[in-house]
Amino acid sequence: MSKIRFARHLVLPALVAAVGCASESSPQSNDSGALQEGQAFVPISRTLASSDTTSVTGMKVQSVPSGSGKESFYLAISKKELNRRYFLSAYMKQAYPGSVAAGAASSLGTRVVTFREQNGKLYVFDAQDGRASSDTFDPSLIIEAYPVVDHYAPFLGLAGHDDYVLFDPAAGLNRFGVVSDFYASYSENPLHFQVDLSYLQNFRRINDGGTFEQVFTGAVNDSLQADKPGPANWYTASGTLGIALRRYAEGEGFQPFDADSTSREYYFRADPLLEKNTGAALSRATKWNIHPGMKPIKWVISDQFAEVAKQYPKYDIVGAIRAGIENWNAVFGFKAFEASVASPQDSYADDDKNYFIYDGDPTYGYAFANWRLNPNSGEIRGASVYFNAIWLQSAIDEFDPQPDSAARVAARASQTRPQVPQITWGQFRAKPLCTLWAPGTGSMRDGLRAEGAAAATDGARDVEKFLTHVAVHEVGHTLGLRHNFKGSLLPLPQQSSVMEYILDPDAVAGGRDRPGPYDYDAIRLLYGLSSNEPAQAFCTDDDTAVDPDCATFDRSEDPLGKYWGPGYNTLLGRVLRDQDPTGRFLRSIDKFYLGGAAGFFRTGTPVEQARGWAQLDQLLALGVDHAADNVKYPGYTDRLSAFQNYLLNRLFFDPVKVRGDITDDPVLSGDALAAFDTSLKGVIVNSDGYRGWETRRTSVDVLKKLQVQPAYETLLTARASLAVSRTGLPAGSSEAALTDDLIARIDSATHPYYK
């Protein structure tokens, strides 16, 4: 069992959920408990009885009034439905404490299932395509098992009860689990969460099935964690899991898209489906059933946006969000999406709604999208976007500053957010498509924005354009698009894609409140409106670790020469001049600019590596007289040497997790290797008198790690120079002892040199 450690005595949120689809369902009122012919599922109250008799479809039936469906109930399934396929979906609506960080506002996934009554239980089987590896091996996979309820008088008193199976969804296997946090890896095995109490509420019938909520409470019991001291129930939680059961259907005329048919990973993939008797798997891209002549897919925008807009009459907030949804229609050339404000009765947990969520709490400073898929075809059945108050606040603070903006920005920058566990359900787990952090929340953009980004031009209009930019980015994910982190590689202020992480003012100035040229090409290929792959530069999340041009929040067609390098050297100059009392500039160098420039030195072409080293070494280079700098800024060269040591460790020795996206050690050749060797030889022999012993020792270690002949020869040459200089040093002096130590370090590094 995974040994995940959490803070003790956390009380996790109520998880209220329901999952949805974008079909034209017509929600009906909550059922009365009558077994009407043709109904697949009927809630039967566990708490109320009635002697009322009602005529239904010509029959006399006894009605068990479940009122508004708020109280506990059993569920009856028509026996006609037992062999039919259904979508089983789950969605987390609420979570406490932690709300969104604990998984609220997230789809947990959708499975295709069938039902079978056997041995006093209603079994739920996985009926997804692509499970059989051959004609011989076609497994039966049990997802859940609910106890069948016998001898329940109110149910037995209903006419037609023999045509139904009564079961208790609250008493299933309840295989809940707990993973560490929002970013838990799918390889992380959940800890067992023991459900102690559970009941159902809020059954809601829609035209192809129904939804309901399971309220539960429980704990992770320490008896299952033998290595963990302390109270028995070290982690407790309660919540509400929303469940949707909807008859399986595929969109009329839907055309799946082979995800392996493109040269690049432009699109999200549904889970692979095994092709029987071949050893191969079929992978489909995710997409809606969007096509010419269709009825527009409806989105609802939280009515809370309209309430917030009353507080900020200067801005068309609802219009900005609506534009973020409907601006995609221009890509299709017809109305694919249609957005309106939600009614108070609509819920983002409704399985038949596509909902743009507003959260008035800015604590969780990100936006994200998720969807509900048909796992067989990759068809997107519904989606939601989470968006909170911090986006509006930060947009105003940046583009239309108010008297309290500076204080708000400072408060956001200093805010810390708790890491809280997430609850899983069986194989269901939240998996947002994107987590886009807002400005001023410790995100990548915070250390970058101040260094020369495009200026805003129109306060109120730019606030709206920025809100639209965030919305159009997230809705783009729900259409199936992955990030394109080369969307910014154009002369400013241009970008080719809204699916890039772009500096906020650049996004506004560059017109990325609407899809860009790449987005047009990628969408039109995915939805069968073109047969051509995008012509624009492209990379996505998986490429950020190997491609220096695949970076988030960079800018211009030459990010090294026009952005990362100048930004790095501007801030480093302030650090060397001791103009960074709070360490803010050093943190920005480390978190942002160093990684951007070092990426080219680490994994670029030989020419890019040479350019990268020239930027990194620009203010640290040998042969510069810093006497005046030491007078004007006391300790200047001490800071220079200390930073150079820090830089070398970041490039070669520090753990991967602190290096940034480009994690590989540099593999140097050609001019880049020659320049680097020359620089480190000068550092080892301290040719300009400014290099400290720690930096000199690290330089020896770096040349050893390079494992190439020029570096080996550089070490031998440096040793010879040190031996000559050693003869002139006073016996017993610290300088002599440290030189001897450095010579011995070189001897150890070169005898042998190659590992």
Q: Where are the alpha helices (DSSP H) in 686-733?
A: 693-706, 709-726
Phi, psi (rounded to 5 degrees) for 592: -125, -70
Domain with CATH 3.40.390 in the chain: 297-416+454-541
> What pLDDT shows up at residue 234?
67
Confirm if 475 and 429 have CB atoms less than 8 A apart: no
**4 close to 334: Cβ distance less than 8 angstroms:** no
What was the pLDDT predicted at 414? 66
**How many angstroms from the chain centroid is the CA of residue 208?**
31
pLDDT at 441: 53
CA–CA gap between residue 331 and residue 288 (Å, rounded)? 14
91-145 pLDDT tens trace: 888 877 778 888 888 898 899 999 999 999 999 999 999 998 998 998 889 988 9
pLDDT tens digits, residue range 44-58? 988 644 333 322 222
Residue 99: predicted pLDDT: 81
Helix, strand and coil percent figures for the chain, each rounded to 5: 35, 20, 45
Token output for 663: 């994690």
Q: Which CATH class is domain 297-416+454-541?
A: alpha beta
Q: Please, which residues bridge with residue 512 across strands? A: none
The residue ranges of the chain whose pLDDT is under 50 are 1-32, 48-69, 223-232, 442-444, 446-454
Residue type at 729 in one-letter notation = L
Quote the pLDDT of residue 273.
Answer: 92
| DSSP symbol at 161 | G
Q: What is the DSSP letter of 575?
A: H
DSSP 8-state assignment for residue 433: S
